[in-house]
Amino acid sequence: MFTILTKAISHSHVGLMSLENASPELQLAVDLIYLLECNEIDPATALAALDIVKKDYQEKVQRAGVTTSLYQSTGQQ
């Protein structure tokens, strides 16, 4: 994981901290941001793709009957 990448999201979530101590979802978010930025993906394209991914995973969670505290706490259903 890259501690320096937390600067990209520090304004909204964490500030500077070691990603080893961050939650799994934050670690994944940083990895995804890194992947998108390294490949110079247009932000609008990235957001559209993430909407598709989100809908897909919401359906998977519903089909599996999975309820996690994180999923419920973000208000996603």
Q: Which pLDDT band holds residue 16 (cuts at 50, 70, 90)?
A: low
CB 43 within 8 A of CB 37: no
36 and 46 share a domain?
no
10 and 24 share a domain?
yes
Q: When comparing pLDDT for 20 and 76, which is higher?
A: 20
Q: What pLDDT, on a 0 to 100 scale, did the predictor assign at position 62?
A: 94
33 and 46 share a domain?
no
Give me the domain span that covers residue 74.
42-77
Strands (DSSP E) contained in the chain are none
Q: How far is CA 9 from CA 4, 12, 28, in A?
A: 10, 6, 12
Q: What is the DSSP string of 20-32?
A: GGS-HHHHHHHHH
pTM score, two decimals? 0.62
Per DSSP, the three-state class of 54 is helix
